Amino acid sequence: MLDELLNKATEENAGKYCRLVERFPALLSADVLSYLREVKYFTAPSSFKCHGGWIGGNFDHSVKVTELLLEYTAKEGLKWDREESPYIIGLFHDMCKCDQRGFKLKNGEAKVISLHPLDNRHSERSIELIEAHIIKLTEEEKQCIYFHMGEYGGDDGYKIKMAQMMAKDPNISYVQKADTTAAKMGI
């Protein structure tokens, strides 16, 4: 039963992903799609109890972040290093969660479980995974992903560096806003 749910979500979400990034061939390569399936990108939950705690929750969260970034880009006239940056940042900012969380069936329901110890290098690990398996990031994309958690993302040194980087690139604050908004929506 759980395998059926996971397979169905994989196919549905892979289809959504392909439609969303259809203009960007690098994000649709056979290698990228194979990797995303392998790491359970399309089925991983986003969190244990808060937002996205369901099959495909991290994908749903990432799609919502992408949609919000595209909305902010249109409304605020945001400029990016490349056209696909809002897609790359939105879709992959939480890439590290894919192999950290999974599911087991309990009383007929899929329950979120931990697969590996939590990696405190959340943003750094996402950047590493993206660059190793999906696409080479621009410096702006790296900074937006690194600082996407805003005030929740680290110690005082992190917050000072974040403020300095936000002064140079306001897109970082829009990524934080999109991520927080999606999470507060429960997605």
pLDDT band, very low/low/confident/very high, at 108 (cuts 50, 70, 90): confident
Name 139's bridge partners: none
Q: Does the model's pTM come out above 0.75?
A: yes
At 151, list the tokens. 């005030």
Three-class SS of residue 118?
coil
- At 74-97, the pLDDT tens digits run 999 999 999 999 999 999 999 999
> Alpha-carbon distance 62 to 48, whole Å?
16
Q: Can you give the residue range of the structural domain that contains 99?
A: 2-184
> Alpha-carbon distance 111 to 105, whole Å?
6
Least confident of 47-51, 56-60, 177-181: 47-51
Best CA proximity match to 69, nearest among 168, 175, 166: 175
Q: How many structural domains compose the chain?
A: 1
The helix or strand, by DSSP H or E, that contains position 101, with its residue range, turns out to be strand 101-106
144, 150, 155, 161: CA torsion to nearest 10: 50
